[in-house]
Homo-oligomer: A and B are copies of this chain.
Amino acid sequence: MPLRVRSKFWIEDDQGRPIFGWGRGLILEKIDQLGSIRATAKELQMSYRAVWGKIKATEERLGLKLVETSRGGGRGRGARLTPEAKKLLTMFQELHHQGNTLADTLFKKIFSDLN
């Protein structure tokens, strides 16, 4: 039976409130691809309010702007990531990738030693 190792990383504040993790990473990725919060919410099957609320919460807790919206009103309104958001996203993907690679390596070692 094939086994696999899984890993999860997230950033929280000292009260355990989520600051950034896989879900918010996905939100930023989609905004970067689609240029729209509305389209991102639809694709992730979330409400607009939920997506915007998570972005706002992270922005407030980090004291950084992550998403800029160009005001044009209504559906034509575009959204794009700030340089800080792009850096946060890239580094988080790197953490995820390196963490998974490390986990795979140690997992293989455990099971070659056990069997």
Interface residues of A, Cβ cutoff 8 Å to B: 1-14, 19, 61-62, 64, 84, 87-88, 91-92, 94-95, 98-99, 102-103, 106-107, 109-110, 113-114
Contacts of A109 in B (CB 8 A): 91
In the A-B complex, the 7 residue pairs with the closest CB atoms: A91-B110, A95-B106, A8-B8, A2-B14, A7-B9, A5-B11, A84-B114
With A95-B106, A110-B92, A114-B64 as given contacts, are A3 and B7 in contact (CB-CB < 8 Å)? no
- Cβ contact within 8 Å between A13 and B5: no
Name the one of B7, B13, B14, B88 contacting A7, with C-beta atoms under 8 angstroms.
Answer: B7
Contacts of A99 in B (CB 8 A): 7, 99, 102-103
